Structure 1
Amino acid sequence: MSGKGKILVVDDDRLVLATVTHGLSRAGYEVIDADNGDDAILLAREHRPDLALLDIRMEGKSGFDVAAYLREYLGTPFMFLSAFADDDTVNQVKALGAVAYLVKPLDIAQIVPTVEAALSSVRAQPRVRPVAGERLAPQPAAMPAAAGTSVPAFAPSPAGNPLADAVPIAVGVLMHRYSLPRAEALERLQRLATADGRTLSQQATALLDAVELLARPAAG
């Protein structure tokens, strides 16, 4: 097995699946792939990957369904690959506790550094592996910050599936909203943080809080 780690890649687009799998393999990872959610869960149970890369919208079990299973039963960290960055999708990504969120179209030059950063973050945290059939405690939903306080938008799950801060998802949102490559989206987020006197993580959290606020239905 590769010393860099074992990655599960799940996407119902066979071209995307082949491209990501090939790129990660060339980068030195051991890669397991599936083109549907049911097979993904079976492979995850068998191989216990270090990280899963999940497409969101698939026939049958969605990437969200697979993520919930990985989190609750296997303690496997996951990130999402999706063509969608609407408010509802972003909020679901946050609630599930993904370690990263990449918006398609993607190239492997974007994916490999994100995978490396995600694995580094995951390995810095204590990891809980449940015994067979045991369900891990569910991750609490992120609580909105009260006025005048600063509360991280993403809380680490009891399974050791951390999202250290909101930066990866905020960058994905900026990529989608402004059609930016990842490096430029990150640079824009950094400029906003500097202008507002915040850390990068604080600025990302503020951006995602604004997304949540806009997604709320207007009071009738």
Structure 2
Amino acid sequence: MKKNKILVADDDMITLTSITSGLSDAGYLVVSAQDGRSAVQLGLREKPDLALLDIRMPGISGIEAARELKAEGGISTLFLSAYSDHDMVESATREGALGYLVKPVNTQQLIPAIEAALKRARDLQQLRQKESDLLGAIHRNREISVAVGIYMQRFDADEQSAFEAIRRYARSRSLKLATLSSQLVNEIDIRDDLFREIYQYDLQHR
């Protein structure tokens, strides 16, 4: 079973040592840093499943580090702080924090919060993937529609005939319809000749 990797960042060495030791003993892979900038660099290199960041650190704050980790690496964050501060909680929430714990914390308190955050991070990743797949499908369908429209206009064809002509040609070249449509719509230097080639092929193979 894959071990989850946790990035822990805290400028207090005693707290950092206690947390990293406890999480390692609990079976997690742990990488650690003592300031925000190092946390970002380490996180982007190690690609942890979750970042556990102290909010107040030298250099850049935990909130700033979380912003960079999320934007550049898609890494989710659970925050630690010695302060139960409403404004801090609001700032952490705006940066997409999956949780907020007030120090001191022990391993028994951390593990349930980490497991809940990891599950939420996985759910968010799956949601982002679904959104990406949907946007990709919409884009591909748009290109197919545009290619069909251009064919209709150039060769005075109805929509069904234009679609079948492009699909028939794609099959003859072992191309996906979306791939051929992308070439027809986006590759301006070849699309005129390619449209004519599709038209001639369709005349011969109807």
Length-normalised TM-score, structure 1: 0.55
**Is contact 2:49-2:76 (8 Å) kept?**
yes
For residues 92 and 63 of structure 2, the distance between their equivalents in structure 1, rounded to whole angstroms, comes to 8
Other structure's SS at 1:125 match? helix
Secondary structure in structure 1 of the residue aligned to 2:124: coil
Give the secondary-structure state (helix, strand or coil) at the position aligned to 2:80: strand
- Percent of aligned pairs with the same residue? 45
d(CA) in 2 for partners of 1:116 and 1:107?
A: 15
CA contact (8 A) 2:55 2:81 kept: yes
What is the aligned partner in structure 1 of residue 34 from structure 2? 35
Kept after mapping to 1: 8 A contact 2:67/2:95: yes
**In structure 1, C-alpha distance between the alignment counterparts of 2:125 and 2:95, rounded to whole Å:** 19
State the secondary structure of the residue aligned to 1:124. Answer: helix
1:65 aligns with 2:64: yes
Q: Is there any run of 5+ residues in structure 1 with no aligned partner, and where?
A: 130-220
Equivalent-residue separation in structure 1 for 2:20 and 2:118 (angstroms) = 17
SS of alignment partner, residue 73 of structure 1: helix
Alpha-carbon distance in 2 for matches of 1:93, 1:84: 13
Q: How many aligned positions are there?
A: 128
1:147-200: CA deviation from partner (whole Å, max 9, x where unpaired): xxxxxxxxxxxxxxxxxxxxxxxxxxxxxxxxxxxxxxxxxxxxxxxxxxxxxx
CA apart distance, 1:125? 3.1
Determine the structure 2 residue equivalent to 1:52: 51
CA-atom RMSD, angstroms?
A: 1.5
**How far does residue 58 in structure 1 lie from its aligned partner after superposition?**
1.1
Residue correspondence of structure 1 range 1-220 to structure 2 within 5 A? 3-126=2-125
Matching residue's letter, 1:108: T
Q: Is there any run of 5+ residues in structure 2 with no aligned partner, and where?
A: 130-206
- Larger-gyration structure (1/2): 2
Which consecutive segments of 4 or more residues in structure 1 shift more than 4 A? none
1:79-110, Cα deviation, whole Å (9 max, x unpaired): 10101122211110111110010011111110
Displacement after TM superposition at 1:75 (Å): 0.6
Q: CA separation in 1, counterparts of 2:44 and 2:125?
A: 20
Distance in 2 (CA, whole Å) between partners of 1:30 and 1:3 is 10
SS in structure 2 of the partner of residue 33 of structure 1: strand
Distance in 2 separating the partners of 1:123 and 1:65: 22
Q: Distance in 2 between matches of 1:58 and 1:8?
A: 15
- 1: CA distance, partners of 2:4 / 2:119: 11
**Whole-Å Cα distance in 1 between the matches of residues 94 and 73 of structure 2?**
18
| TM-score of the two chains, using structure 2 as the length reference | 0.59
Letter in 2 for 1:10: A
Q: Structure 1 residue 61: deviation in Å?
A: 0.8
**Conserved 8 A contact 2:44-2:72:** no
Q: How many Å apart are 1:126 and its aligned residue? A: 2.8
**In the TM superposition, what whole-angstrom CA distance separates every residue of 1:115-157 from its partner, at most 9, and x where no partner exists?**
111112222333569xxxxxxxxxxxxxxxxxxxxxxxxxxxx
Which has a greater percent of helix? 2
